[in-house]
Amino acid sequence: MTKAIRIHAYGGPEVMKWEDVPTPDPGPGEALIHHEAVGLNYIDVYFRTGLYKSPSMPATLGMEGAGTVIAVGADVTDIAPGDRVAYATGPIGAYATERVIAADRLVKLPDAIDFATGAAMMLQGMTAQYLLRRTYRVQPGETILVHAAAGGVGLILCQWAKYLGATVIGVVSTEAKAAIAQAHGADHVIIGHDHLAADVRKITGGAMVPVVYDSVGKDTFMHSLDSLSPLGMMVIYGNASGPVPPFDVGILAAKGSLFLTRPTLATYTAKRADLVAVAGDLFDAVISGAVKIRVNQTFPLAHAADAHIALEARQTTGSTVLVP
Ligand code: NDP
């Protein structure tokens, strides 16, 4: 048997149940993994509340894990039992001691990276990689704006952008988070978003920024648009405060012929070659020390509900790992 955190209906953290489920057999092209560590991500909250829908119920939450391959199905040639592996992206099912997943979604974890770090970094780190290197290719000398700068994706974005030679303005909610963001590459920190555009204007001497990475959504969207320079790129990649309501696209013209994108990691790693390239770039950044993965909270997997409560209450910083 396998132990898993499952939901039978959408709702608050109380819908998460620690249950016995039969250990699945890997079919053709699949691998069975024993998890050593599971990553906590904000997307897990969206799947628990029903903002994002599970294809079936009951559903095992979770998009990210690291562990050891126990068995592989027919036609799997790249991965073998005993391999140390990690993955991010769907389908959901990571909050379990064992799971089956398509083998072509796995990457081998370098020996230099332990399981907890692997589980903490795959989803948030590959997201930072594609946001900075593909969605908008940040250039040395540019000044960029990063929301939730002390969070999981945020701390990685700050460090990586700094390594690329950018000046980083981070947005956070508290003084304590400001100090954490500054210790990880944020050159300037803005606390709260009520006067965001005015603060950005002051910091940039009126130039504003060519790109905003906004994962907060509803509460910050308009403030972020107002912080862009003409022809700037608005990257809205999350909904921590709720999804952005429908709006008149004419606003983009009025605010300076702005670009708007709503990217997801799934698109940027859909092809195996892209997944391997993005993960490889991330492993290099971490092994070189350019990006440090901060596992600032650890919870037993059985108590994943407590981790969700902390994440939604904005009490976490950096990454969080669930231990089976
Ligand atoms: P974080 O660690 O960043 O946690 C969320 C943070 O958002 C909080 O700590 C808080 O920081 C901030 N926040 C602002 N408003 C709210 C609110 N109303 N409720 C809760 N939090 C709020 O989480 P992750 O690193 O896991 O994810 C960050 C974001 O990136 C999420 O929105 C997630 O969905 C998105 N994401 C998108 C991906 C994609 O490919 N599109 C992939 C990965 C993540 P503060 O207190 O400083 O404001």
**Cα–Cα distance for residue pair 199/186, rounded to 1 Å:** 15
Q: How far is the CA of 281 from the centre of ligand 1 (A)?
A: 23
Residue 89 confidence (pLDDT): 83
Q: How far is the CA of 311 from the centre of ligand 1 (A)?
A: 8
Structural domain includes residue 128: no
Task: Provide the pLDDT confidence category of residue 98 given band limits of 50, 70 and 90.
Answer: very high
Is 156 a pocket residue for ligand 1 (Cβ < 6 Å)?
no
pTM of the model: 0.98
Q: Please, what is the average pLDDT of the chain?
A: 97
**Cα–Cα distance for residue pair 305/282, rounded to 1 Å:** 29
Residues 6+ apart with CB under 8 A from 219: 193, 241, 242
Q: Identify the domain boundary among 262, 284, 309.
A: 262
**Mean pLDDT on 24-50:** 97
Nearest to 47 by CA among 85, 5, 108: 5
CATH number assigned to the domain comprising residue 228: 3.40.50.720
The range of the structural domain enclosing residue 201 comes to: 140-262
Q: Identify the domain boundary among 262, 284, 313.
A: 262
Residue 90 confidence (pLDDT): 80
Whether residue 204 has pLDDT greater than 90: yes
**Mean pLDDT on 151-159:** 98
- Report which protein residue has its CA nearest ligand 1's atom 9: 314
Percent of the chain with pLDDT over 90: 99
Atom of ligand 1 nearest to the CA of 313: 20
Task: Provide the pLDDT confidence category of residue 221 given band limits of 50, 70 and 90.
Answer: very high
Q: How far is the CA of 146 from the centre of ligand 1 (A)?
A: 11
Is 216 a pocket residue for ligand 1 (Cβ < 6 Å)?
yes
The answer to whether residues 255 and 176 belong to one domain is yes
**Cα–Cα distance for residue pair 148/55, rounded to 1 Å:** 29
Residue 13 confidence (pLDDT): 98
Q: How far is the CA of 149 from the centre of ligand 1 (A)?
A: 9
CATH number assigned to the domain comprising residue 25: 3.90.180.10
Residue 159 confidence (pLDDT): 98
Residue 178 confidence (pLDDT): 98
Q: How far is the CA of 126 from the centre of ligand 1 (A)?
A: 15
How many structural domains does the chain have? Answer: 2
Lowest mean pLDDT among 87-91, 119-123, 294-298: 87-91
Residue 213 confidence (pLDDT): 99
Is 131 a pocket residue for ligand 1 (Cβ < 6 Å)?
no
The answer to whether residues 207 and 306 belong to one domain is no
Q: How far is the CA of 211 from the centre of ligand 1 (A)?
A: 18
DSSP 239-267: -TT-PPPP--THHHHHTTS-EEE---HHH
Whether residue 228 has pLDDT greater than 90: yes
Is 135 a pocket residue for ligand 1 (Cβ < 6 Å)?
no
